[in-house]
Structure 1
Amino acid sequence: MSSTPRRALRRAVLGALVASVALTGCAATLIEGVATPEAGARADVAPADFPIIGAADDDVDRGARNALADLNTYWGEQFPETFGQEFTPLTGGYFSVDPDDLDPARYPNGQIGCGQEIEAVTGNAFYCSSEPGEPGGDAIQYDRAFLGELADGYGRFIPALVMAHEFGHAVQGRVGYPVERSINVETQADCFAGAWTAWVASGAAPHNSIRPGELDDVLRGYLLLRDPVGTGTREEQAHGSYFDRVSAFQQGFDDGPVACRDEFGATRPFTQQQFQSDQDLLSGGNASYPETVGTIMPEGLAQYWTATLQARGVTFEPPALQPFSGRAPECDGEQPDTDLVYCPADRSVGFDETDLTQPVYASEEGGDYAVVTAVAIPYGLAVRDQLGLSTEGPDAVRSAVCLAGAFTQGVRNGETTVVISPGDVDESVSFLLESSGDPSVLGDSGLTGFQLVDVFRGGVFEGLPACDIGA
């Protein structure tokens, strides 16, 4: 890679990923946590047993009630162990609002929590903790039409996820915020939501269940809930990038509420960032496709892995990158039928521009770093090969996905002349999620999108030690 100047990996606008990608001989191991097989609630909570002011007899309000009841059960159990004190139920109640039928007569004094007008929750859901002397604090309220739209677009568990996030703020209201910065507060609430979801996935929740594939929908839902690309981490209402919010949720899912309590202080790293120039803002932060595949990607990968393996006493020979269209070059006398190929015989990495990298680059959810992430996976197999490790089977592919995350960590730490731009790592999440369900993408890996993102996240945060390549 040329040493100057530092090149920016810019991003495109998000939308729907349509590319098809595959790796030969790929699979990966499961993460902790097994989602329960049943769909929907196990048994609905009776309205009289858990009143929600303004609620209707519909799926959204029933789901919210079931989630809130189980959240009270979960935090009643976890709060003493996590925070050393008993959990006190919310004193201000719960409020459901239909923005198309704003009837003040359904609400005390025509108001929802913290003495707010019912219109205040339109298109939203929130927890409020009132200032001293203000009425009706310690309450959760939600727009049920908004939750219904989320469920229609991202799966029936998303309203429960929203309730879990807002309940996370109620937890904070009892123990204090990790740091007085919005992005830390919001992602910690995502983490608390992840911890509760793992409890649901374990089968312990009386009124909720979640299947493995629905965890992918949960992560997709965060795409809608992320901040606009280019939002700064210190903005007053910052909630986090797609990657930041997904990572926080997965940390809670994997490690539980104690990790949520301890790991969201002032030093927590975030990928969210502002655009640094008007040019990046106008371009959406996206490098051209020719620059991405012709210069940025090959130079960045070669530079990072040459230096990284040299530090381990290994001389690394960067594999040749071979773009192709529809038909991969032969590998050791055989014809690969996949869009991503690592060929040990000649140590080359191939990628199908027609069926993979060009569509990924042009898609709304993709862009330049989605392309880099895709090719970084078979490149990771080349790294394993030169370390004398297997390049086939579930463990090899899991490791390669993790190594793609470790490369991303290196880029973010300034170890290459490539520069991460706002939204780039969000593209990695979208690519992995949308690739997981198609066997032509990562083969018969047995991994859900949730698990692929979790493995990638391990590389981003922990680097090489997470990637099973030895000491």
Structure 2
Amino acid sequence: MGGGGHTGRVRIRSGVSAVLLLSVVTGLTACTTAIAGSPTSSGSVVSHTDPNAPGGIDPSFVKNTDGGEIDRLAAAVLADVKSYWSETFPKTFGGQWKDLTGGYYSVDTTDPNAPAPPCVDKATDVEGNAFYCPTADVMAWDRAALLPVLKERFGEAAVMLVLAHEMGHAVQRRAGLTIEQQRADPAKYPTILIEAQADCYAGSFVRWVADDNATYLQIATDRLDSALESLITFRDPIGTQQTDAGAHGDAFDRVSAFQDGFDSGAKLCAGMSMDNRTFTQTGFINAADAQSGGNLEFNQMLNSITPKLNAYFSGLVTRRGGQWKEPSLSPTEARPNCTNADQGPVAYCPDATKIDFDTKTELPGIHTKIGDYATGTLLASRFAVAALTDLRKPTEGSNSQHDLVCLAGSFTGSLLNLDQQYLSPGDLDEAIQVLLTYDYAARDIKGKFIPTGFERVRAFRKGVVDGDKSCGLD
């Protein structure tokens, strides 16, 4: 939060300068490229954006608007967000919702002569950003280098999420949180908590839209994947400490807050505090970890994680009265097909009690593109198939698909709880990204899978937070 009283400024890769923002987004294009096993739907979530059509949105309440497509989209989002809080604020906080007194500002950052919104000196100060400014009670966004880029890369759902997040900061002020309180007690109100709460409020709003309550917006379940993909780009740089001034959270923290709001509503968000919220963001373990960016080479990762996977799942099976049969790792230069079904680049082969994995193309490619814990997550899901097999639990069907991802999450949670020196900053983010981008971790023994990344992430988070007892084994 700067000297002008800004809060909730949205930046892709929080901490990079606005000047660098567009190139950063462009560099992430590959993360949303349609590939095998990934969600591909990121189309329209908004109807009635033509102000000349019956029921169309009139964007004239937006100050400095050009009346174009992006501002009509923003106006449609804001109209529904305001309706949501008019309905939800009294039930959550007991008072009436009050609209922003300073209004909403669209900024053309490509025009050096464009008028600047309140709280900044010039229009270019908003480049690549959206923010809520409590001192003036205004919201502003860059209609040239932020919203169009988000829409192109992730679909309209990303614009919905960003503006709903900023309104979440306005909600915080109306609920009684002041700048003075934040400054006087930063341990109680760290930035990471403030941002998580705004993400949570955004999730509660998106659920309201998904339940078909909105006038202008509509969103199908598969479009939520694009929203979460965009949220990953708003994470802090890898290695940021959660106690750092301005920390917004890693991807796991931000996605968790959004999904909690989506699942449980605004009252849960309102009750979030440092006493009941655990954040996973950490700094690098040591200089070597920082130098490697927290990533091991492919073979190093296999050698490092395999004993931990075996020990964890052996204990899990034994505690439940089963007999663990340790699967051997079997490298292959072709896509595994030991069950005559496509489990992806890593496959559990029950007849031979082994795990085949591709060492030539796809798995090493995922490892390089996303990071080492993408490999770890996929391997954990196949060890989970072995565990279900040894416990004589179903290894096919929708329930088992959720169990596999949940168990991969519970293994990951065990590393957080018991061996904090193992997971590096960014590992949980890599798990989130591989779950959103690929369905492989959720593939059962017949190759069937959970179709949406949103639901795969939800199952994984359940395992991380609640452990294996939440994974349908008992």
Task: Place the TM-score, normalised by the shorter chain, in its bin.
Answer: 0.7 to 0.9
User: Paired residue for 1:283?
Assistant: 292
Which segment drifts farther, 272-281 or 319-328?
319-328
> Which of the numbers 362, 366, 384 marks the counterpart of 2:368?
362
Q: CA contact under 8 A between 1:36 and 1:210: conserved in structure 2? A: no
Distance 2:107 2:165 in 1: 18
Q: What one-letter code is carried by the residue in structure 1 that aligns with 2:356?
A: G
User: Paired residue for 1:55?
Assistant: 65
Q: CA deviation at 1:19?
A: 11
Q: CA contact under 8 A between 2:404 and 2:441: conserved in structure 1? A: no
Query: Are the structure 2 counterparts of residues 173 and 351 from structure 1 closer, same or farther at C-alpha, using a change threshold of 3 Å?
Result: same
Distance 1:462 1:77 in 2: 32
1:307 and 2:315 are equivalent in the alignment: yes
Aligned residue for 1:370, secondary structure, equals helix
Q: CA contact under 8 A between 2:80 and 2:217: conserved in structure 1? A: yes
Distance 1:37 1:144 in 2: 19
Query: Are the structure 2 counterparts of residues 299 and 337 from structure 1 closer, same or farther at C-alpha, using a change threshold of 3 Å?
Result: closer
C-alpha RMSD of the superposition: 3.0
> Which of the numbers 107, 125, 146 marks the counterpart of 1:97?
107
Aligned residue for 1:157, secondary structure, equals helix
User: Paired residue for 1:432?
Assistant: 435
Q: CA deviation at 1:394?
A: 1.8
TM-score if structure 2 supplies the norm length?
0.83
Q: CA deviation at 1:162?
A: 0.9
Aligned residue for 1:113, secondary structure, equals coil
Aligned length in residues: 429
Listed one character per residue, the Cα deviations across residues 271-327 of structure 1 (whole Å, up to 9, x for unaligned) are: 21111322111111111221111x212111011222334444444332222222205
Identity value in percent: 35
User: Paired residue for 2:327?
Assistant: 319
Query: Are the structure 2 counterparts of residues 417 and 221 from structure 1 closer, same or farther at C-alpha, using a change threshold of 3 Å?
Result: closer
User: Paired residue for 2:131?
Assistant: 126
1:408 and 2:412 are equivalent in the alignment: yes
User: Paired residue for 1:385?
Assistant: 389
Q: CA contact under 8 A between 2:43 and 2:223: conserved in structure 1? A: no
User: Paired residue for 1:238?
Assistant: 247
Q: What one-letter code is carried by the residue in structure 1 that aligns with 2:428?
A: V
Q: What one-letter code is carried by the residue in structure 1 that aligns with 2:107?
A: V
Q: CA deviation at 1:343?
A: 2.2
Query: Are the structure 2 counterparts of residues 276 and 417 from structure 1 closer, same or farther at C-alpha, using a change threshold of 3 Å?
Result: closer
Distance 2:59 2:298 in 1: 58
User: Paired residue for 2:15?
Assistant: none
User: Paired residue for 1:467?
Assistant: 471
Distance 1:206 1:86 in 2: 21
Q: What one-letter code is carried by the residue in structure 2 that aligns with 1:142?
A: W
Distance 2:210 2:57 in 1: 24
Distance 1:36 1:204 in 2: 20
User: Paired residue for 1:187?
Assistant: 196
Q: CA deviation at 1:122?
A: 2.1
Q: CA deviation at 1:147?
A: 1.0
TM-score if structure 1 supplies the norm length?
0.83
Listed one character per residue, the Cα deviations across residues 81-130 of structure 1 (whole Å, up to 9, x for unaligned) are: 112222121111111100112445x5xxxx52347544432221111111
Distance 1:340 1:447 in 2: 18
Q: What one-letter code is carried by the residue in structure 2 that aligns with 1:206?
A: T
Q: What one-letter code is carried by the residue in structure 2 that aligns with 1:436?
A: D
Mapping of residues 266-277 of structure 1, within 5 Å: 266-277=275-286
Q: What one-letter code is carried by the residue in structure 2 that aligns with 1:163?
A: L
Q: CA contact under 8 A between 2:384 and 2:407: conserved in structure 1? A: yes
User: Paired residue for 1:164?
Assistant: 164
Q: CA contact under 8 A between 1:433 and 1:450: conserved in structure 2? A: yes
Which segment drifts farther, 320-329 or 216-225?
320-329
Which segment drifts farther, 335-344 or 381-390?
335-344
Aligned residue for 2:165, secondary structure, equals helix
Q: CA contact under 8 A between 1:76 and 1:87: conserved in structure 2? A: yes
Query: Are the structure 2 counterparts of residues 117 and 448 from structure 1 closer, same or farther at C-alpha, using a change threshold of 3 Å?
Result: same
> Which of the numbers 89, 106, 112 marks the counterpart of 2:117?
112
Q: CA contact under 8 A between 1:41 and 1:63: conserved in structure 2? A: no
Q: CA contact under 8 A between 2:61 and 2:104: conserved in structure 1? A: yes
Aligned residue for 1:41, secondary structure, equals coil
Structure 1: tracts of 5 or more residues without a match: 1-12, 23-34, 131-136
Q: What one-letter code is carried by the residue in structure 2 that aligns with 1:324?
A: T
Q: CA deviation at 1:330?
A: 4.4
Aligned residue for 1:341, secondary structure, equals strand
User: Paired residue for 1:224?
Assistant: 233
Aligned residue for 1:250, secondary structure, equals helix
Q: CA deviation at 1:227?
A: 0.8
Listed one character per residue, the Cα deviations across residues 343-385 of structure 1 (whole Å, up to 9, x for unaligned) are: 222332222222332111111xx22110010111121111111
Mapping of residues 340-379 of structure 1, within 5 Å: 340-363=346-369, 366-379=370-383
Structure 2: tracts of 5 or more residues without a match: 1-26, 183-187
Q: CA contact under 8 A between 2:335 and 2:358: conserved in structure 1? A: yes
Larger RCO, structure (CA 8 Å, separation 6 or more):
1
